[in-house]
A = this chain, B = another copy of it.
Amino acid sequence: MLGIWLEKEHLSLRDDLPIPTPPKGEALIRVLKAGVCATDNALARGYYPYTGILGHEFVGVVESEGEWKGARVCGEINAVCGQCEQCLNGRRTHCDNRTTLGIINRHGAFADYLTLPFENLRPVPESISDDEATFTEPLAAALEIQQQIQVKPTDRVIVIGDGRLGMLCAQTLALTGCDLLVLGRYPAKLDLLAARGIRTALADDAPRARADIVVECTGKLPSFELAQRLTRPRGTLVLKSSYVGRVPADLASAMVNEITILGSRCGPFAPALDLLARKWVDVQPLIHARFPLNEGLAAMAKAQEKGILKVLVEVSRL
């Protein structure tokens, strides 16, 4: 089968990959579409050593025989042991023995087929299109913020970043009724949020007033510093993005201001699917480009261009 292969920081389109044979407890899934995430390109730059097929945001169809056969699904990307200290304490996405689709020891979604444990599968309601369904995983990651901390309707919240994840965090945080401001660099993207009644500003025009919660969605040092400056004493700075290498952090000011710096990663799929089904989050305008799988390398390159939001890799049709 066809797939986008990463090995030693080198990407290639391979047509010699075997269709995987699902181990016991796992389903064979034919991929319909998959989204390119910043993490995919970070992995290609060596953010974390990984060899295999990339891609973890997908919608597909179960091919395995049984009750799931033919179901249109997305899937939790962490396959877990269920027996380690993390799993037994309800922290399954942190399983000590986890594999992660297209990220840790598990071939990903930029391919004709993938496998995932049946327990990871989530049926996609009919009202959710294939395009929309590819956003389930990043939307779940955005919702992880509210899973971790309480966002009060009276809280002042600032999202830094108008990239893919920033646009999703902005939309999910807006649903809390909080006093939200999104800082970005691209008027065209900020306009998409403004059209939904979300207050935006260019990052260079960041306000002086500090916020209760600041969500850093860029993974870049100047934004981290801006986030620290914008977090009020005893406020929370959410790290929602990957940082490559060490970040020279001003921990003294975090101590003096008693700031909480909170790492935030994978989130809950069920509410993400609910929000997509109810159309309370609008992901369609975030799709900026589409490529067939055999142009997957171009898809990944496109996703790195400035101002580009979601790029979809179209693999097959239902």
Contacts and interface: CB of A to CB of B under 8 A. Distances in A.
Interface of A: 47, 85-86, 91, 94, 144, 148, 224, 232-234, 239-252, 254-265
Given A85-B232, A248-B249, 12 more contacts: A91-B233, A94-B258, A148-B258, A239-B254, A241-B255, A242-B252, A246-B250, A255-B264, A255-B265, A257-B263, A259-B262, A259-B263
Contact of A233 (B94, B240, B246, B258): B94
A233 B86 contact: yes
Contacts of A224: 251
A227 B216 CA distance: 23
Contact of A94 (B47, B144, B257, B265): B257
A244 B251 CA distance: 9
Contacts of A148: 258
Number of identical monomers bound together in the oligomeric complex:
2
Contact of A252 (B47, B233, B258, B262): B47
11 contacts: A86-B233, A241-B255, A242-B252, A249-B251, A254-B261, A254-B263, A255-B263, A255-B265, A258-B264, A260-B263, A261-B261
A50 to B, nearest CB: 13
A268 to B, nearest CB: 13
A97 to B, nearest CB: 13
Nearest to A249: B249
Nearest to A252: B243
Nearest to A258: B263
Contacts of A263: 251, 254-260
A86 B233 CA distance: 8
A258 B250 contact: no
A247 B249 contact: yes
A275 to B, nearest CB: 21
A176 to B, nearest CB: 19
Given A248-B248, A260-B260, A255 B242 contact: yes
Nearest to A250: B246
A103 to B, nearest CB: 10
Contacts of A86: 232-233
A8 to B, nearest CB: 20
B246 A248 contact: yes
Contacts of A252: 47, 242-245
Nearest to A236: B260
Nearest to A210: B85
Contacts of A244: 252
Contact of A261 (B85, B240, B246, B260): B260
State the 10 A-B residue pairs at the shortest beta-carbon distance, nearest first: A94-B233, A246-B248, A255-B263, A261-B261, A249-B249, A254-B263, A243-B251, A243-B252, A258-B263, A239-B255
A133 B91 CA distance: 44
A156 to B, nearest CB: 10
A234 B47 contact: no
